[in-house]
């Protein structure tokens, strides 16, 4: 249930409403906007009559939220969320591009990638150091050493760092080096992991599960938001369908669906979405045209020898071209993008 206070409701009125909701057994989350305060009451009390609250001083409206996700819903927050990754804002008018290799492999590889993506206008360096691989015999990532390399490379080029956390025990080490935590598709419904990600207080990039519905995805976002962490960004990265010509099917209709149901920003990852280098650029353009707040793109200095996801990784010059094409689309849909930095 969402309780919208009147513009100008005073602190004692707000506190009385919170106390009344607590008395009825609800947990209350408070969001104070510039104009008015909104209270989110969480708890299942089918017998509760909202008029008990509607009648209190300072209350403007009471809405029952029919969706099972509350804090992720538009009813809870009607304005779009601007997630903050340091001074990079995701969900504002400017599109944000996160780019880098699938895995951090060496100092040389991550430094050259950071230089190339920063030059083309990306502001966040991506790269996995704890890798979720289908085979236990495949490269599993460099662990903390990779995080150190990535932090140095990002700092040398004025970039932020996003990297994947696979288990709660990695939260401390990732927190030392990263600006944003990625929850991968395979872990979208790992609820203890989502809670810990929320508790770190770092912004969280939540990828859609391989066969997750949009509702399930928003319920996973709810786990992070319920830890009082408002900086959640969704990432559409393709779902598994019957189609074998692409690695996954990039569900771009998720972008407008999320935009209408949730206030959370959403970015598109056409690299995992298609699995094929020559399909990344058209789907990046389409993602931005569909209204995404940014992109995640895999690039590699020499994709043919990449230790993971080489076939979907772009060469540096292809990434540069992608950025220039996406800039034109951004302009056409009323968005801006950072310019090249050389
Ligand atoms: C990745 O970003 O490299 C990754 C493993 O992504 P996903 O979880 O979407 O498969
Ligand atoms: Mn990858």
Same-domain check for residues 106 and 58: no
Q: Is residue 226 part of a domain?
A: yes
Among protein residues, the one whose CA lies closest to atom 9 of ligand 1: 185
Give the CATH number, domain containing residue 305.
3.20.20.70
Ligand closest to the CA atom of residue 308: 2
Give yes or no for residue 283 CB within 6 A of ligand 1. no
Residue 169's pLDDT band (cuts 50, 70, 90):
very high
For residue 14, tell me if it sits in a domain: yes
Cβ atoms of 243 and 249 closer than 8 Å:
yes
134 and 25 inside one domain: no
Q: Are residues 91 and 59 part of one domain? A: no
Domain that holds residue 255: 83-332
Cβ–Cβ under 8 Å, residues 259 and 89: no
Whole-angstrom CA distances from 130 to 124, 141, 160 are 18, 5, 18
Considering the entire predicted model, what is its pTM?
Answer: 0.92
29, 63, 97 — which closes off a domain?
63
Give 73-110 pLDDT, tens digit per residue: 998 888 999 999 999 999 999 999 999 999 999 999 99
Instruction: Return d(Cα 334, Cα 330) in angstroms, integer.
Output: 6
Confidence of residue 31 (pLDDT cuts 50, 70, 90): confident
Beta carbon of 184 within 6 Å of any ligand 1 atom: yes
Least confident of 17-31, 149-163, 250-264: 17-31
- Do 56 and 95 share a domain, yes or no? no
Q: Is residue 149 part of a domain?
A: yes
Q: Are residues 206 and 252 in the same domain?
A: yes
Nearest bound ligand to the CA of residue 131: 1
Note whether 231 and 320 are same-domain residues. yes
Q: How far, in Å, is the centroid of ligand 1 from the Cα of 227?
A: 24
Find the mean pLDDT for residues 321-340.
Answer: 97
Co-location of 168 and 25 in the same domain: no
pLDDT, tens digit, for every residue of 248-276? 999 999 999 999 999 999 999 999 999 99
Domain count, the chain: 2
- With respect to residue 337, please indicate whether it lies within any of the assigned structural domains: no
Residue 296's contacts (CB-CB under 8 Å, 6 or more residues apart) are 97, 98, 99, 126, 205, 235, 237, 267, 268, 269, 271
At 188, phi and psi to the nearest 5?
A: -60, -30
> How far, in Å, is the centroid of ligand 1 from the Cα of 1?
35
Q: Identify whether 74 is part of a domain.
A: no
pLDDT tens across 240-255, in order? 999 999 999 999 999 9
Domain shared by 199 and 290, yes or no: yes
Asked if residue 75 belongs to a domain, the reply is no
One domain, residues 51 and 90? no
- Do both 99 and 38 map to the same domain? no
Residues 114 and 259 in one domain: yes
Task: Provide the CATH number for the domain around residue 54.
Answer: 3.30.70.1140
pLDDT digit string (tens) for 305-330? 999 999 999 999 999 999 999 999 99
13 in a domain, yes or no? Answer: yes
178 and 117 belong to one structural domain: yes
Give the Cα separation of 34 and 262 in Å (integer): 20
Asked if residue 319 belongs to a domain, the reply is yes
Q: What are phi and psi of 280, to 5 degrees?
A: -70, -45
Is the pLDDT confidence value at 147 over 90?
yes
Residue 221 · residue 206 · CB < 8 Å: yes
Residue 44 pLDDT exceeds 90: no
């Amino acid at each position: 249930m969402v309780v919208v206070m009147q513009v100008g409701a005073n602190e004692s009125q707000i506190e009385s409403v919170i106390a009344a909701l607590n008395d009825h057994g609800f947990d209350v989350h408070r969001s104070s906007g510039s104009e008015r305060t909104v209270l989110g009451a969480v708890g299942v009390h089918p017998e509760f009559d909202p008029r008990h609250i509607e009648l209190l001083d300072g209350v403007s409206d009471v809405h029952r939220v029919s969706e099972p996700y509350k804090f992720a819903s538009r009813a809870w927050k009607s304005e779009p969320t601007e997630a903050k990754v340091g001074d990079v804002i995701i969900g504002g008018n400017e599109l944000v591009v996160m780019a880098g290799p699938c895995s951090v492999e060496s100092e040389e590889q991550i430094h050259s990638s950071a230089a190339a993506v920063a030059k083309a206008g990306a502001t966040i360096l991506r790269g996995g150091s704890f890798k979720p691989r289908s085979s236990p015999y495949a490269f599993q990532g460099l662990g903390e050493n990779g995080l150190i390399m990535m932090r140095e490379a990002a700092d040398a080029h004025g970039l932020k760092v996003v990297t994947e956390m696979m288990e709660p025990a990695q939260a401390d080490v990732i927190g030392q080096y990263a600006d944003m935590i990625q929850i991968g598709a395979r872990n979208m419904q790992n609820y203890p992991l989502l809670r810990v990600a929320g508790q770190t207080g770092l912004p969280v990039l939540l990828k859609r599960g391989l066969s997750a519905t949009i509702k399930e995805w928003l319920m996973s976002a709810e786990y992070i938001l319920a830890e009082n962490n408002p900086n959640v960004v969704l990432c559409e990265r393709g779902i598994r369908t019957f189609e074998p010509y692409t690695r996954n099917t990039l569900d771009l209709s998720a972008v407008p669906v999320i935009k209408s149901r949730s206030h959370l920003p959403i970015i598109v990852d056409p690299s995992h979405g298609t699995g094929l280098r020559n399909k990344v650029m058209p789907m990046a353009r389409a993602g931005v045209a569909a209204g995404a707040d940014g992109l995640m793109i895999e690039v590699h200095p020499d994709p043919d020898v990449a230790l993971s996801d080489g076939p979907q990784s772009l060469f540096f010059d292809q990434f540069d071209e992608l950025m220039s094409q996406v800039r034109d689309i951004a302009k056409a849909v009323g968005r801006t993008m950072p310019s090249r930095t050389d």
